[in-house]
Structure 1
Amino acid sequence: MLTADLLHASLGDPLLDVMNFLNEIAIRYPDAISFAPGRPNEKFYDPQQIATYLDAYQRYLREQRGFDDARITSLLFQYGRTNGHIGELLARMLEKDEGIRVAPESIVVTVGCQEATFITLRALFSKPTDVLLVGMPCYIGVTGAARLLDIEVAPVPERADGLDLDALEARVRELRSQGKQPRALYLVADFANPSGRSLPAPARHRLLELAAREQFLIIEDNPYGFFSREGPRKPTLKALDDRQQVIYLGSFSKSAFPGLRLGYAVADQRVTDAAGQHHLLAGEFSKIKSLLTVNTSALSQAVVGGMLVLNEGGLLEANQEAIRFYKTNMDATLQALERHFPKSEAWARDVTWNVPDGGFFLVMKLPIEADEALLEESARNFHVLWTPMRYFYLGTGGEHELRLSCSYLTPERIEEGVARLARHLQKAILERQPAPQVRAG
């Protein structure tokens, strides 16, 4: 028998139980309308497309790269290059879709963006005094990975318009005064999970200047950047990066499909070794990856490669229908909230929500706690699921907030789901709020 004290301490952290709890709720209530998962909608998927993409990639290898059949067979069926075999196509995609110009050698293809995150943290954080800065609330995949790696995390609050840069600067100086080293900041600048917030363009320039002055790196994660709802797309931090301060993480889970489990890291920073030789940080990432997953599925890479070939090197234009769909869904969610939580009703006056300019998520604030008991009641009695925001905070925070994801549902299901949520919250608010005090006399 093993005792818990013989296992890594992170396994006792409630943070690592969050995903299992949410999955268990979803399994027990399969017929509930779920605003919980940040999943793309399956209307854009056709299994027949996979063969088309594989064929396109093989033609590309044969006609543009000069591969013969034996070499193509080896590439698709054997262990492959640790950094991946679609680096040139990804570099072209980044330039076309995001205005990011990097060499293919600086790109490491990973098993989903989660591996890219893990590798980045493992490479950068070498001392007990190194600290990871994160916007708060934060995606639990990052804080969970840091916990597994025994990396200290320092939260920085978000404002309505994204990360609070004044608070960031103060936190950096506070950590330095304690003898700690703020090593990197993790940030989703566009339509963050879970808050849905985006960093304004002027703040992006200021953040890069702050990182240069205070000497920390920025880990920019950009899974939702295509899905703008209002206004022109903002430049990524990496597109503005002229000092190699930004490590850029990307994923094909939203722009293609999650089953690929394909992501990548752009690590074009220069590393100087003990002999004074220079090489790319991507090479260090490759060492870690070689002992973590060996290499990334050649078939998944070939599918993405075929998609890029068939779409003239980019995926932004190929996602236009999806962009319109997710915009419609966010609009439908916001409109349904306005209808079903009318400010003319006393119970709904203290229920508020943010209005993201894109992405999959928004956050509601309630006058009561949005805890596991409320979620259980919501699932059991009203057949609607959502995510407590407290899961995305370290320590305290988010106790009165919940996250809604509008990506996986149709507008019709969104309307019905918000109606169910309103019925539940009306009942819960009226039951849980203290009765008003009546003054004697």
Structure 2
Amino acid sequence: MLKDDRNPKALAALPDGALIDAVQRQTFRYFWDGADAASGLALDRRTLVGATGEDLADERAAIGGTGFGIMALIVAVERGWVTRDAALERLGRMRDALFRARRYHGAFPHFMDAASGATIPMSPKDDAGDLVETSFLCMGLLCARQYFSEDTAVARRLRADIDTLWHEVEWNWFTQGGRDVLYWHWSPNHGWAMNHEVRGWNECLITYVLAAAAPRHAIDPRVYHRGFAAGNGFVNGQSYYGIEIPLGMPYGGPLFFTHYSFCGLDPHGLKDRYADYWDLNTRHLRINRAHCVANPRGFPGYGESCWGLTASDDPDGYLAHDPSNDNGTISPTAALASLPYAPAEVMQVLRHFLTVHGERLWRDYGFVDAFCEQRDWFANTFLAIDQGPIVVMMENHRTGLLWKLFMSVPEVQAGLRALDFSSPHLGASAA
């Protein structure tokens, strides 16, 4: 079990570097102490119950959350919170569980039973392959393949098995027979009944990059240009709070759009014919923050020290919060995973969370998922897809570790070139 920093006011007094380290380490405990005990896969969520704060585990292993957890594990090794050997042992168990999973044309489901490998449906028709969650998992697996590069039997086997899982994903199958767009879901029971096209600016840039990068089942680049980059919700060009945003929905949407794909994709200098992605993401963040500072609906607590709207739990369930869908719920991951984009502003929020809300927010696995001062509600949950990006994006701000690993993957570089991206990581042959 890792060190448990439970004194929020003492943490808030630390210098920036030590404070960031403590937040990363405590949040990583979700994926180390809070993972499925046998397999090590990330659980979708854990819930604090009772006065003791004992936590209950959701039995569902989360595929996307596991991808973020693998990236967080790399941070833990690099920071010395766990040993390299312990991490390799954990990854071996995770790998074995992933091979047990039922896959659908190589794609994993959103949720699985870690012990049996059986799919756990997310909804009646969402009961099989989920290409987007699979892309988050592959992002983490490819980072691990790059990081654990030593010439030992254990590391060689891990890399070979990661290649097997990655190569078997039939990205082109998810074009529904050659259409110019990717589809999110496919099920042997319901076919393409979900019919959810992956298009318009959102969290799925990573899905298209990996689909173009795949060694065996790649999509044609036109699927990106005619699918993702087409239709309503891609081009914007409007101004909000005096800040113009080139792509995305009104106000930019929830902040996880700037986190999920960019846990691995380095937005610095990342450009294609549609956007400069560092500029896009920083503008999105500034709009989200400006909305909370302006606080047009008068929610208690909102301001320069308390902002951040994204998908999370809230008093009534789960919602993708953003300025156009704002019910007074602040999600710590929204600001904290944005550290690379606005360091001073995020550190102000971090210290405010610790000093003002203390142990109502700061618990065993870092910050709880969300809170709403309007209704005096503080979540008793932690979610894998919210905790993971905190660890990863904070590390990307500090050292660029995951960005360097992911952008060094030869297949990823080939995929970015195929889609006509340019990036400093691609060198002189960039588009």
With structure 1 as the length reference, what TM-score do the two structures score?
0.25
Higher relative contact order (CA 8 A, sep 6+): 1
With structure 2 as the length reference, what TM-score do the two structures score?
0.25
The structure with more strand, counted as a fraction of residues: 1
